[in-house]
A and B are shown apart, each in its own frame.
Chain A
Amino acid sequence: MSSKRSKEITASELRHSFVLFILLFAFWVILSGHLDLKHLSIGFVSAVVITIITRPLMHMSSTSEPQKTYFAFDFPYFRYIAYWPWLLWQIVKANIEIALVILNPNLPINPQIITFRKKMSNPHAHVVLANSITLTPGTVTVDVKDDLYLVHALTDSAAKGLVPEDGEAEMLTKVSSVFGEECARTGSEVSA
């Protein structure tokens, strides 16, 4: 392993450990609700110990670039948080759509399996994309093999929303821009 690359990994790991520690400690403080020295010090020690012992579990190797390793809590936090309001709005919109479909006496559904490819280097980006697809009603991620997505869509409009005839779906573009992936390398394929 070259010294340059190990330095990069260390920086990523430091950010990861710091954020994980802050999250764990904040979680402890909120759940305990006590701000005295005894409770805070117990929380501090447990957060540090958990951060250290979970370190080997938090490596994620990239599927498309095997030489790269990512840490679970090292991702663009602010852009990820900025992505949430958009996702929430999509969820509400699509939920109303599905509720109307279910309440419709004719049950206008057309279930289908759609597949598409999305190349992304960071495994975290794949997790976020698959999770977003499942959260948006009308589509469930059935399987992800490397960069091939297998999605079950309930209606035609849900399938079209994810795999439009021209270009890329808005959600895919958003997720890849959150994680700073190159959009030029991606290409979506449609098959029935």
Chain B
Amino acid sequence: MAIVAIIFLLGGFFFTFVAALGVIRLPDFYSRLHASGKCETLGMVLSFLGLAIYEGFTLTALKLFFIVIFIFIANPTGTHILSRAAYRSGIKPWTRKGE
């Protein structure tokens, strides 16, 4: 059980790290949202699942699982609201052509 939990936690760390790296490397607001909004979702979900597996079948694990479901619903919603606000305030997306 502990080994499976460690694999999940390491996967979570990896994707959170990639998300942070993506925020630094990508060129503009919209593409940075991709990194922070999604890689981080999977990173956090994997971390919480790892903790839930480590905890075993208890009430705490069930509560952690609830956090996972909330992240899955709330994180895309937040990302969508940020990108829509940026689009409405007139930020132009970066493209290869207009480099």
A58 at the interface (CB under 8 A from B): no
A142–B18 Cα gap in the complex (Å)? 23
- Cβ-defined contact, B30 with A152, below 8 A: yes
A137 at the interface (CB under 8 A from B): yes
A99 at the interface (CB under 8 A from B): yes
Given contacts A102-B26, A111-B30, A152-B30, contact A143 B84 (CB under 8 A): yes
Given contacts A95-B39, A98-B38, A110-B96, contact A154 B31 (CB under 8 A): yes
- Cβ-defined contact, B21 with A103, below 8 A: yes
Residue numbers in A under 8 Å from B84 (CB-CB): 142-143
The residue in chain A whose Cβ has the minimal distance to the Cβ of B23 is: A102
- Cβ-defined contact, B95 with A112, below 8 A: yes
Residue numbers in B under 8 Å from A41 (CB-CB): none
Given contacts A103-B18, A111-B93, contact A131 B34 (CB under 8 A): no
Residue numbers in A under 8 Å from B14 (CB-CB): 99
- Cβ-defined contact, A134 with B42, below 8 A: no
- Cβ-defined contact, A111 with B25, below 8 A: no
Other-chain residue from B30, B35, B38 in contact with A135 (beta carbon distance below 8 A): B38
Contacts beyond the supplied A91-B38, A99-B18, A135-B41: 6 A-B pairs with Cβ under 8 Å: A30-B62, A31-B63, A95-B42, A111-B31, A111-B95, A134-B38
A24 at the interface (CB under 8 A from B): no
Interface size on A, residues (CB 8 A): 31
User: Could you name 27 residue pairs across A and B whose Cβ atoms are closer than 8 Å?
Assistant: A31-B63, A91-B42, A95-B42, A98-B18, A98-B35, A98-B39, A102-B18, A102-B26, A103-B18, A110-B95, A130-B76, A130-B80, A131-B80, A134-B38, A134-B79, A135-B38, A135-B72, A135-B75, A136-B38, A137-B34, A140-B80, A140-B83, A142-B30, A152-B31, A152-B83, A152-B93, A154-B31
- Cβ-defined contact, A109 with B31, below 8 A: yes
Question: Smallest CB–CB gap between B36 and chain A, Å?
Answer: 11
A111–B35 Cα gap in the complex (Å)? 13
- Cβ-defined contact, A138 with B34, below 8 A: yes
B10 at the interface (CB under 8 A from A): no
B6 at the interface (CB under 8 A from A): no
- Cβ-defined contact, B87 with A143, below 8 A: yes
- Cβ-defined contact, B21 with A111, below 8 A: no
A113–B96 Cα gap in the complex (Å)? 12
- Cβ-defined contact, B79 with A92, below 8 A: no
Given contacts A30-B63, A109-B31, A134-B79, contact A102 B38 (CB under 8 A): no
